[in-house]
């Protein structure tokens, strides 16, 4: 092993921090009804759901990336959560983002070509470690955008 930080994980840490900060900014100052509001339409989700789901998924995929034990997760329940305040949601975001950053800490190294099994033991899907890291980040980034757009829809609804 080298004393130099792993460039893949170093880049992932930077993206994670940006996503955390952008999501926090989109949540700050919202009333509870905005956090839990779902836009009209089928299969829409609230800011609380997007945030909760995005970070749990990220933590799981990064665990696959670095071969860490799988965290406890109830994916179905992630789409039913609500939070009593923006501060409570931000606290959860901070908690799980810290766990994600710890998974890909500066002292950890990963072989990007190493083959990793899917987190679901009921499937035989396999991916290389680089793909699992990139997938974790692209999925997180997608939901950061959803949180920002949902806030915009909330504000547009409230101002009309």
pLDDT tens digits, one per residue of 42-72:
899 999 999 999 999 999 999 999 999 999 8
Mean pLDDT estimate for the chain? 95
**Structural domains in the chain plus CATH codes:** 7-159 (1.20.120.450)
Bridge partners, residue 115, by sequence: 128
Distances (CA, A) of 100 to 17, 54, 148: 10, 12, 21
Length of the chain: 160
| Mean predicted confidence (pLDDT) in 92-119 | 96
Structure tokens at 37: 């509001």
Quick one: what percent of the chain has pLDDT higher than 70? 98
Listing DSSP states for 40-55 in one string gives SSTT---HHHHHHHHH
Each residue of 147-160: pLDDT tens digit? 999 999 999 986 76
What is the Cα gyration radius of the chain?
Answer: 17
Two structure tokens written together for 155: 């504000």
pLDDT at 160: 67
pLDDT tens digits along 74-89: 988 999 999 999 999 9
d(CA 158, CA 154): 6
């Amino acid at each position: 092993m080298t004393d130099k930080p792993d460039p893949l994980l170093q880049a992932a840490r930077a993206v994670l921090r940006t996503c955390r900060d952008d999501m926090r900014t989109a949540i700050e100052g919202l009333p509870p009804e905005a956090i839990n509001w779902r836009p009209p339409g089928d299969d829409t989700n609230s800011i609380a759901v997007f945030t909760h789901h995005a970070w749990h998924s990220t933590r799981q995929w990064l665990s696959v990336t670095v071969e860490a034990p799988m965290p406890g997760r109830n994916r179905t329940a992630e789409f039913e959560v609500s939070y009593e305040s923006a501060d409570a949601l931000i606290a959860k975001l901070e908690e799980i983002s810290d766990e994600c950053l710890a998974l890909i800490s500066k002292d950890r190294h990963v072989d990007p070509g190493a083959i990793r099994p899917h987190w679901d033991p009921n499937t035989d899907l396999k991916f290389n470690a680089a793909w699992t890291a990139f997938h974790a980040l692209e999925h997180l980034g997608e939901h950061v955008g959803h949180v920002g757009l949902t806030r915009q829809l909330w504000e547009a609804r409230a101002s009309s």
